[in-house]
Structure 1
């Protein structure tokens, strides 16, 4: 056997404007000219420049025909991208209540401060706390969602205390997060949160006029009260314990620069430019709140340019969506973003213990239940993890998210980085078994990967260094959400 003979390995090609992109089965990539792409597609590797041939071998596009250890390395590289799925559920979302003072038009929560019908029972809460420890994951994030969990701080305290007491024997690494408007935050709460190292996540949709429009409360001072809560939390817990995110509505589209500038003004180091999701009242109010995917793409590009502008001025600000995409492209170790895992991370890396006494595979799945679609319930709180995993819903979620089984995905250049999202498909089409290309999830991520591969191809060295810094994994496997 000729030790210098070359064997082709699986890869995919994609044209991005005038550039050609090749991606191997390990997620390594190279940029090619049109002629080089044709030569590679035809297997004529010897016709390519020697340096490119070396890059193709290093990126597992080709391998030597002679026996070597490269097959073990290839298997290891592939396994590293799926490591987050094999470690068990690491994100556990508790929804103690749907009570909330806000009347956000894109939210699904109960619009009441006193409603007790939408609050978890104490027995179900403690059963959920015990269920967390059935996961094999050694690092666990416990996130409290709502509604606004601070309206039932008694339940939050009870859960944190119970989990901490049990963890004395379990010895897991546990991180607590509360997603809240912060309007109810007070010094007594801060004392407890500081004692247990609890992180806070809130929502800032932009300048005061936009935030108050998107997230109205009686008195029209939602923005001012949230900012006051941020300052109290920073003073009592530390700046690193408070984060924020935004949701893009139709009203947001006009001025992305002002939204980014607001995050700089408030001293945040991150901003997540998120599209509106088709859940809850957002789905019902599409004519008022919604927009075409192309409108979001233009908005996102302008917002990211503003983020990059501030970084060029020496202001450190990371755009989280960019970090998620760049982590997929540039890092061999996947950060575990639930929506882009295959098989899906919904139910595998995240579980939701809802106020209604049921376990759901993701935050979006429990939102569907608020509009009457309870098809994604995994089982009652208190069911064993093994029972939840064996449920027909969980099995269908997995079957509907396997890249290798999906016609639209198996030949896609981004199959290593992306995946179908069966929960989104259920929300959009009332079925998980929908061709991926029909879904907004697929269309949006095709655009995002095209956008960032093109940006990488044409980036100056300083910009490239920034992108590599952003590619380091973000704090959690799923970005915290508030009131959506």
Structure 2
């Protein structure tokens, strides 16, 4: 029990009810505790009656402390809070280059309205060189350069040129570089693999589940998309290495009945990461929404079933990580933020990630350039070749920052998960035509609120094996 010799006061916190008599409370530093109605009341009104171990825990998680805090404690709290925002304060670290919009697929859910021809849909060499040089104007020491499309392997010559130019420039810059190519892998050759191995390039692809489902979601005239992707994956693994390729899932209405089968397919393919992504409201996905979309409740049921299957395989000794949960758990359990763009406040769009598009313009995120493909250019930041500092001071970027400061956004300001999350102004703009629609109406808010609720319930109720897995996933590099 506390005495007057050690004055202690209650520090600000927010809380959320997960179930009857099950409450999670989150301090300003992002530390959390589980309470019931009685202990919540005691914390607010009678915390002096807590036991010494309870008081120690509450102090260690910054729910209690000396009035006003000591200088050392104030610095500690400030540094803990700053660590949650480090990735949006050190300059863009993810640089996405879109060398071409060409792609042979006509995926019904595609976020990009892809092109079948090269004319007018490929980046000029001058813009490519300017984009490569602009990357180094960021203050970030660790730089990821990701090539997207369309399918960028259709213009491997541009990928080769960009990587060689960036690495030559980096001899003097001495940054930590990471290269990723996102592709169907259908055009992958031994020559490409040898180049990627020499330059430590990772590959990312899409595998939506078993062959029939994958080919239905990602049709080709030959109906062999799945077979060709696996052939490319096999080639990359043989030449580059067993961990050369990562994959992700886009969940359509067709996917809902395959929750466990999709997870099992990733195990069969000896993949150790699975990213269960919902549909996005861009490109062909909008045109085909009537056939592909589903309610939030339907996706939540699918995700929960698939997640339990992921846990099952881990308990069988097969390491498999669900990337979305890993990102959220990093926010909750780690003091070092992994830097996922969509969960930053202010938004990582532009501040942490930036896109150099084939059309010669710069966008704050992949979704923003997708809106441009749909005819809405309202989120353009500037032209490739402009100084990065000028681009990041543009009116569009300023608006994205202001609209994503959760502390000042109604609905976010009092949310228990504000420390872990933030508004997604690009997503909001895409749906409502403004960056400032009511947050509770956005898909982003509903989806992330549900995910944090779900994971906190599991953290509160699961056994030690799950907690160990959660802390492993929570590491900034994903475990």
Q: Which residue of 2 aligns with 1:213?
A: 216
Instruction: Flag structure 1 segments of 5+ consecutive residues without an equivalent.
Output: 477-484
SS at 2:223 equivalent? coil
SS at 1:244 equivalent? strand
1:60 aligns with 2:62: yes
Distance (Å, rounded) in 1 between the aligned partners of 2:231 and 2:72: 59
Q: Which residue of 2 aligns with 1:479?
A: none
Q: Which residue of 1 aligns with 2:204?
A: 201
Query: Is the CA contact (8 Å cut-off) linking 1:245 and 1:271 kept in structure 2?
Result: yes
What is the root-mean-square deviation in Å for CA atoms of aligned residues?
1.4
Query: Is the CA contact (8 Å cut-off) linking 1:94 and 1:354 kept in structure 2?
Result: yes
1:350-390 C-alpha deviation (Å, 9 max, x unpaired)? 01000000000001111111111110000000011111111
1:268 aligns with 2:271: yes
Distance (Å, rounded) in 1 between the aligned partners of 2:370 and 2:115: 17
Q: Which residue of 2 aligns with 1:414?
A: 417
SS at 2:392 equivalent? helix
1:337 aligns with 2:340: yes
1:70 aligns with 2:52: no
Query: Is the CA contact (8 Å cut-off) linking 1:21 and 1:32 kept in structure 2?
Result: yes
Q: Which residue of 2 aligns with 1:370?
A: 373
Distance (Å, rounded) in 2 between the aligned partners of 1:263 and 1:325: 21
Q: Which residue of 2 aligns with 1:14?
A: 16
Query: Is the CA contact (8 Å cut-off) linking 2:131 and 2:384 kept in structure 1?
Result: yes
Query: Is the CA contact (8 Å cut-off) linking 2:115 and 2:150 kept in structure 1?
Result: no
Query: Is the CA contact (8 Å cut-off) linking 2:94 and 2:143 kept in structure 1?
Result: yes
Cα–Cα, structure 1 residues 394 and 364, in superposed 2: closer, same or farther, change >3 Å? same
Q: Cα offset for 1:284?
A: 2.1
Query: Is the CA contact (8 Å cut-off) linking 1:110 and 1:118 kept in structure 2?
Result: no
Distance (Å, rounded) in 1 between the aligned partners of 2:289 and 2:470: 34
Q: Cα offset for 1:347?
A: 0.2
Q: Cα offset for 1:46?
A: 1.1
Alignment of 1:279-298 (within 5 A): 279-298=282-301
| TM-score (norm: length of structure 1) | 0.96
1:189 aligns with 2:208: no
SS at 2:417 equivalent? coil
Q: Cα offset for 1:108?
A: 4.4
SS at 2:23 equivalent? strand
Q: Which residue of 2 aligns with 1:227?
A: 230
Q: Which residue of 2 aligns with 1:348?
A: 351
- In structure 2, which of residues 134, 138, 141 is the aligned counterpart of residue 135 of structure 1? 138
Q: Which residue of 1 aligns with 2:445?
A: 442
Q: Which residue of 1 aligns with 2:433?
A: 430
Distance (Å, rounded) in 2 between the aligned partners of 1:165 and 1:68: 46
Count, aligned residues: 475
Q: Cα offset for 1:286?
A: 1.1
Distance (Å, rounded) in 2 between the aligned partners of 1:158 and 1:333: 34
SS at 2:243 equivalent? helix
Distance (Å, rounded) in 2 between the aligned partners of 1:111 and 1:396: 29
Distance (Å, rounded) in 2 between the aligned partners of 1:110 and 1:183: 19
Cα–Cα, structure 1 residues 50 and 390, in superposed 2: closer, same or farther, change >3 Å? same
1:90 aligns with 2:90: no
Q: Cα offset for 1:39?
A: 2.0
Q: Cα offset for 1:114?
A: 3.1
Q: Which residue of 1 aligns with 2:469?
A: 466
- In structure 1, which of residues 5, 16, 22 is the aligned counterpart of residue 7 of structure 2? 5
1:49 aligns with 2:51: yes
Distance (Å, rounded) in 1 between the aligned partners of 2:460 and 2:236: 41
1:290-325 C-alpha deviation (Å, 9 max, x unpaired)? 000111100000000000011111111011011011
1:360 aligns with 2:368: no
Q: Cα offset for 1:395?
A: 0.1
Q: Cα offset for 1:111?
A: 4.8
1:33-55 C-alpha deviation (Å, 9 max, x unpaired)? 2111122233x211233322221
Distance (Å, rounded) in 2 between the aligned partners of 1:111 and 1:274: 20
328-337 vs 104-113, greater mean Cα deviation = 104-113
Q: Cα offset for 1:2?
A: 4.6
Cα–Cα, structure 1 residues 416 and 357, in superposed 2: closer, same or farther, change >3 Å? same
Cα–Cα, structure 1 residues 369 and 67, in superposed 2: closer, same or farther, change >3 Å? closer
SS at 2:411 equivalent? helix
SS at 1:432 equivalent? coil
Query: Is the CA contact (8 Å cut-off) linking 1:100 and 1:109 kept in structure 2?
Result: no
| TM-score (norm: length of structure 2) | 0.97
Q: Cα offset for 1:109?
A: 4.0
Query: Is the CA contact (8 Å cut-off) linking 1:397 and 1:432 kept in structure 2?
Result: yes
Distance (Å, rounded) in 2 between the aligned partners of 1:109 and 1:62: 49
Distance (Å, rounded) in 2 between the aligned partners of 1:322 and 1:447: 11
Distance (Å, rounded) in 2 between the aligned partners of 1:197 and 1:331: 28
Query: Is the CA contact (8 Å cut-off) linking 2:113 and 2:373 kept in structure 1?
Result: no
Q: Cα offset for 1:208?
A: 0.2
Query: Is the CA contact (8 Å cut-off) linking 1:108 and 1:370 kept in structure 2?
Result: no
141-150 vs 62-71, greater mean Cα deviation = 62-71
Distance (Å, rounded) in 2 between the aligned partners of 1:399 and 1:52: 39
Q: Cα offset for 1:178?
A: 0.2
Distance (Å, rounded) in 2 between the aligned partners of 1:235 and 1:419: 41
154-163 vs 176-185, greater mean Cα deviation = 154-163
